[in-house]
Structure 1
């Protein structure tokens, strides 16, 4: 069956909309999560939680979302039909009795048995599912690939072990740090953190032969499509030219490569970097109205 086609809107600085057509998960570059509404009861495997859907693959059901668990949320023994990868934005969750507080990460492979899931005091969690998650009761008796399990990482332990050179990002070494959260043993797909220093300024544009997905955890980031604030989300198809980027504040970003390991091709930018770039996000038609204007900076005083 051929992939579904979706309409894409590119907004220029004057509010003019250009339409394009692409396949699979739509190109989103970028949307502020704060612009999206909370939705109830749209993920049966997480019934009772609210969700903001950041992007979704209409064929496979794979999706990226923010889940908001109310205080007292609890599930019994079960396993899911999809990988569940998550980063705790606020509050805390428990899986198999193990606590994951703010800035904790895990990758739980599909069919991994779980004795329980809970959010005693509530939580907000950035979550990636490899397919539409279906929960099956009973937390025993499933065979899952333990090589793909990342049980728990706490970013506050201050380990920065990422390999800039392996992804062709050696030029960032002096102005950023990287931490590898996960690398798939078969596909090479990688999830990692990048933290950049204030006033870092990139010089060249990039392309990657795989999907690059990211969520801006903190800071402000200026690039060729406008200025992103904390909460900005991007799903970029392979080989889409982007950057250079700069940040007055410094940034913390969570990146994922989808479809294989991430490598980088460098080339000259189409336009010089600007600290105050034109607002021109790339969005599906249903999301474009939410980002007509630049997103305001959060109040600082």
Structure 2
């Protein structure tokens, strides 16, 4: 991957531009949060206007979507707030539409093109298709990152192949502390949904986003309020500890020392 290190940005500060996908109607705006100059894959914050729609068809690459507000439909399936979809390359989806102004994270693996069709493309892996998965219906489970501190749980949205990528939601309790710096052997990205998190890079609040290349050390972290974020990382998401000098402001018990 050849995405630049983004640590971190507030998505509202990113300039909007027209969302253009070959084969799909115009009428949406996007904020490009990160972009791969080699594959032309991206993570974007797209805003569709009411009554936008498209015919059935398939994409030329894997696409992930996570709805943040509003409502989208794929056929009769409803994608409301915090609903996830994974559309594998070549899998034909039913006609999709937007019933009200809708914002979602849009994550194609390369520059996306849409082909109108009523059938899958040859070789499409329909068994991997996740058309609509409401995170409210997914149970919380323990984190599976080795060495991750207590006080956090996850909702798995999709597990990729062993050694590949996965997507999940991370929830941390108020006063959760990650006392060590860490790094990962593959890229990691997060979009803050609720709460906040303080690190040496700054204070992450809803709408903040980062994309880290492999082996980028990120410092200890603390949340006073709790933290809820959309995450894409590894399967498994291996984590290794590094040393960074702690900030006293992370730890309430150090404030008066």
- State the TM-score, normalizing by the size of structure 2: 0.90
Once residues 197 and 92 of structure 1 are traced to their aligned partners in structure 2, the CA distance between those partners, rounded to angstroms, is: 29
TM alignment of 1:1-301, pairs within 5 A: 24-46=2-24, 47-142=26-121, 143-157=123-137, 159-162=139-142, 164=143, 166-172=144-150, 175-185=151-161, 187-257=163-233, 261-272=236-247, 274-275=249-250
Evaluate the alpha carbon distance shift between residue 119 and residue 274 of structure 1 in structure 2; reply closer, same or farther with a 3 A threshold: same
CA–CA separation in structure 2 for the residues paired with 1:270 and 1:103: 36
Unaligned stretches of 5+ residues in structure 1? 1-22, 277-301
Superposition RMSD in Å: 1.9
Q: Deviations over 1:35-56 (max 9, x none)?
A: 0122114333552211110011
User: Is residue 45–residue 133 contact of structure 1 (8 Å, CA) maintained in 2?
Assistant: no
Counterpart CA distance in 1 for 2:162 and 2:185 is 17
Q: Is the 8 A contact 2:21 2:114 kept in 1?
A: no
Separation in 1, partners of 2:2, 2:95: 33
Q: CA deviation at 1:186?
A: 5.3
How far, CA to CA, are the matches of 1:186 and 1:108 in structure 2? 19
Alignment partners' CA distance in 2, 1:79 and 1:186: 26
> How far apart, CA to CA, are the structure 2 residues paired with 1:146 and 1:132?
21
Task: Tell me which moved more, 73-82 or 33-42.
Answer: 33-42
SS in 1 for 2:7: strand
SS in 2 for 1:171: coil
* Offset at residue 188 of structure 1 (A): 3.0
Secondary structure in structure 2 of the residue aligned to 1:274: helix
Aligned 8 A contact 1:68 1:123 in 2: yes
Worse-matched range after superposition: 62-71 or 43-52: 43-52
* Residue aligned with 1:206, SS: strand
Runs of 4+ in 1 over 6 A off after TM superposition: none
- 1:130 is displaced (CA, Å) by 0.6
| Stretches of structure 2 lacking an aligned partner (at least 5 in a row) | 252-257
Quick one: distance in 2 between partners of 1:139 and 1:251?
Answer: 42
* Distance in 2 (alpha carbons) for counterparts of 1:215 and 1:30: 10
SS of structure 1 residue aligned to 2:164: coil
Measured after TM superposition, the shift of residue 147 of structure 1 is 3.8
SS at match of 1:113: coil
Q: Which residue matches 1:287?
A: none
Conserved in 2, the CA contact under 8 Å of 1:179 and 1:194?
Answer: yes
> Matched residues in 2 for 1:78 and 1:158: separation?
28
Instruction: Work out whether residues 245 and 273 of structure 1, in 8 Å CA contact, stay in contact via their aligned partners in 2.
Output: no
2:254 is matched with none
CA distance in 2, matches of 1:186, 1:145: 17
